[in-house]
Amino acid sequence: MPALIKWGILGLGKIAHKFASDLILVEDCELTAVASSNEDRAKVFAKEFGVNTFYGDYESLYADNSVKIIYIASLNQNHHGHVIEAIKNGKSILCEKPLAINQRQVKEMIDCAKKHKVFLMEGLWTRFNPAFEQVLQWIDRGEIGKLRYVNATFSFYGLDKEFDSRLFNLKKGGGSLLDIGIYPLFLASIVMGKPKSIKASAVVSETGVDEQIGILLTYDKSQAILYSSFSHHENMRATICGEAGEIYLDSRWHESPNLKLVKKEESFEKTFDFLGKGYTYEILEVNQCLRNNETESSKWSLQQSLNLVKLMDEVRNQTGILYPMD
């Protein structure tokens, strides 16, 4: 049996707990060390997941020679700096989405990873779950014919949050687009590619972030209508339509195990049993890439991450959303 791939986690918030819960389900790796800016938080997290090594600073994790790869789960505004420093210390990286605030930062991160010859991937976990893999296979096989339309939304109620929270603070990379709007854009990007034109409009909060944002992408003979919001709940389903049929992703579409394929004379429903919450599949992809000495994933490449952040930059440009890092 090959040696275990040893992971570290930087940033120990809600998403890190979900990730760690799935990481310990994957047999060919282990959670070796965790780090937070608060040592007590790191100690509690380590105890919860049976980890012997914890740090109250990030530099110690960067320098830990037992750790092969670090999952970066810090706030959006810190992704760029944390990834760069970890890479300079020879660490491979899985960074939670968005990879960074803007395309300048993403380019710098990619260049740094290539210079140091280490693995880097954006943590868009939806890409790797079995249900989404099935969607892509149906499209590639031509089950719904030539694509004509994509519709995807992502919303929840967050207006009860403090303005200094990560959702509403520009300095923390807040706003619905970077937090959740990235998912609908990801869907359109991966199934339809680069659009000919982008039109976007937003409802902007008094703090300067987008509370709601609507996006229309137009291609040669197809369109995508996308939406994200912090101001209300919504059914959060996704639809992909072709000339010969449709694919429906049930709520919440980015993590749903339930699919429906509808064609002219038949319909087919399929439900998948996920291992854990679903982060397991991106972990398995990363582990396989590392074992193959690959520096990026062919399923979600660094160029695809760069293309995605370029779309988000243009949406922000049209809606007047400007971060201090821009």
User: pLDDT per residue over 115-155, tens digit each?
Assistant: 999 999 999 999 999 999 999 999 999 999 999 999 999 99
Res 161: pLDDT: 86
Q: Which of the four pLDDT bands, split at 50, 70 and 90, describes residue 2?
A: confident
pTM: 0.96
Mean pLDDT of 184-204: 97
Average pLDDT, the chain: 97
- Answer for the pair 193, 181: CB distance below 8 angstroms, yes or no: no
Res 164: pLDDT: 83
Domain at 5-124+279-296, CATH from 3.40.50.720, 3.30.365.10, 3.60.9.10, 3.40.50.1370: 3.40.50.720
* Cα(26)–Cα(284) distance, integer angstroms: 7
* 301 DSSP 8-state letter: -
User: pLDDT per residue over 29-76, tens digit each?
Assistant: 999 999 999 999 999 999 999 999 999 999 999 999 999 999 999 999
Strand partners, 95: 72, 122
Strands 69-72 and 92-96, by their bridges, are parallel
Domain extents in the chain: 5-124+279-296, 130-273
Mean pLDDT of 210-220: 97
What is the share, in percent, of the chain residues with pLDDT greater than 90? 95
- The residues, ordered by sequence, that sit 6+ positions from 131 with a Cβ below 8 Å of its Cβ are 249, 256, 257, 258, 259, 270, 272
Q: How many CB atoms lie within 10 A of CB 173?
A: 23
Return the CATH number of the domain spanning residue range 130-273.
Answer: 3.30.360.10
What is the share, in percent, of the chain residues with pLDDT greater than 70? 100
Q: Which of the four pLDDT bands, split at 50, 70 and 90, describes residue 1?
A: low
Mean pLDDT of 211-240: 96
Buried b (16+ CB within 10 A) or exposed e, 246-278: bbbbbebbbbbeebebeeeeeeeeeebebbbeb
User: pLDDT per residue over 91-120, tens digit each?
Assistant: 999 999 999 999 999 999 999 999 999 999
Res 6: pLDDT: 98
5-124+279-296 and 130-273 share one CATH topology? no
Largest Cα–Cα distance in the chain? Answer: 60
Res 275: pLDDT: 95
